[in-house]
Amino acid sequence: MKTAEDYINGQIILIDKPLHWTSFQAVNKMKYALINKVGLPKKFKIGHAGTLDPLASGLLLVCTGKFTKRITEFQGQAKEYTGTFFIGATTPSYDLETQIDQTFDTSHIDESLIQETVKQFLGEIDQKPPVFSAIKKDGIRLYEHARAGEYVEIASRKTTIHEFEITRIALPEVDFRVVCSKGTYIRSLAYDFGKAIHSGSHLIVLRRTKIGNYDVDNAIDITLFEQSLPH
């Protein structure tokens, strides 16, 4: 059983974040469980190495105590995601946070076109973050501009797709696995993929499965983490 001193000296805890939770909520719940059950001081350090959207599940790397200094190191590591694109429609947020705003023809799309298009996205690519994202422009987060109906010009940025494979095709759904660099938006990948196949696409399922050598298979549910702490 780990002691308060262990958590202050530094722990890396692999959490399988549930759907609909923010990453902040997950870390906060852990923090209060550690304060109340292990007796950690209220100001002890805890943080995560890379935000997951509420509509995504999967691996959240949580660092405590002295290991919070390593968060930047973990954030820089490659990440693996699995999920599902919905082909033939787009949404303003590029995922299920907003309603479908446009529909597109899909009659020309077949497996060979999908597999061929994947190749366009391998290696270094230019990508525009979604307008519904937490990036700041003029001191205001992009999603605040978007929700207020304000148009904001977003600069594209370089990102790297190390691996991109299609694991299931059952149109309009297409399942994928992606290994990518820090700063890659899978929602933007969904949108750009739809354009590349002369249609539209948005993200309907997303799960982070790896960060560097850390695997979600070794992660624990937040409730189980709480239950594992001494009473």
DSSP letter assigned to residue 193: H
Q: Is 2 exposed, middle or buried (0-12, 13-18, 19+ CB in 10 A)?
A: middle
Mean pLDDT of the chain: 92
The conformation of residue 49, written as its DSSP 8-state character, comes to S
Choice among 6, 16, 53, 221 that is catalytic: 53
For residue range 31-53, list pLDDT tens digits in order: 999 999 999 999 999 999 988 98
Question: Alpha helix (H) ranges present in the chain?
Answer: 4-9, 23-33, 71-75, 111-118, 142-147, 186-196, 222-228
Helix (H, G, I), strand (E, B) or coil at 105: coil
**Residue 220 β-bridge partners:** 15
Bridge partner residues of 203 (DSSP): 85
Amino acid 30: pLDDT: 96
pTM of the model: 0.92
118-141 pLDDT, tens per residue? 999 999 999 988 776 656 556 666
Q: Check if 215 is active-site.
A: no
CB 137 within 8 A of CB 144: no
